[in-house]
Amino acid sequence: MSEVKVLSHPLVQCHLSVLRSKTTANAEFRQSVKRLSTLLAYDATAQLETDRYDVETPLTTCDGFRLKKRVGLVPILRAGVAMVEPMLDLIPTSEVWHLGMYRDEATAEPVHYYSKLPKSSPVDVAFVLDPMLATGGSAAMAIEALEQWGVKQIKMLAIIAAPEGIQRLQEQFPKVELHACVVDEKLNDDHFIVPGLGDAGDRIFNTVG
């Protein structure tokens, strides 16, 4: 069964509270998404392998380290885009590959409308980025596309996850690690996470209503 790592940190709790509040303005909402994404990225990248090389300082030579494997960032459009910049700040050599999906409101299942994955030369490690893991449909579709591309190590990063989405990923992709800031109570009848924060994409891009 896939591993689920939930962050436990006072800063996570504070920024989550800002995200959840319905009175939080869009600009502040985006900043909190970025901050939480940075904390998630720090945790999710802890086991990345490095190579040693010599670094010349102004005084002497010392050990230096660089990432050993190619890293790919795979944001699920559109909300996942907000998580890319903080990841790139930490891993500027990352490749960014986009997957576009939207939810069919009648079925609550994802519709795949855009992919920019090549047919060959897969990255070594891929981070799937989506602020909300609700039913797990979009995440599952993204992970399946990455596996077909040939990616060997895949990690899912979500700010808020629902038990239903976690269960789906664990059943379908037992080798995929899930990193989340919090696991919420459940999905409601409209398949929104409760207590959640509403529609992350609308709040990030100021398209509510």
Catalytic residues: 103, 107, 199, 202
Nearest to 145 by CA among 166, 191, 176: 176
* Burial class of residue 33 in the structure, from the number of CB atoms within 10 Å of its CB (0-12 exposed, 13-18 middle, 19+ buried): buried
Contact 166, 4 (CB under 8 A): yes
Residue 20 CB-density burial (10 A; 0-12 exposed, 13-18 middle, 19+ buried): middle
- Is 14 in a helix, a strand, or coil? helix
Angle, helices 137-149 vs 163-172, to 10°: value is: 30
- The secondary structure of 79-146 as a DSSP string is GGGGGHHHHHHH-TT-EE--EEEEE-TTT--EEEEEE---SS---SEEEEE-SEESSSHHHHHHHHHH
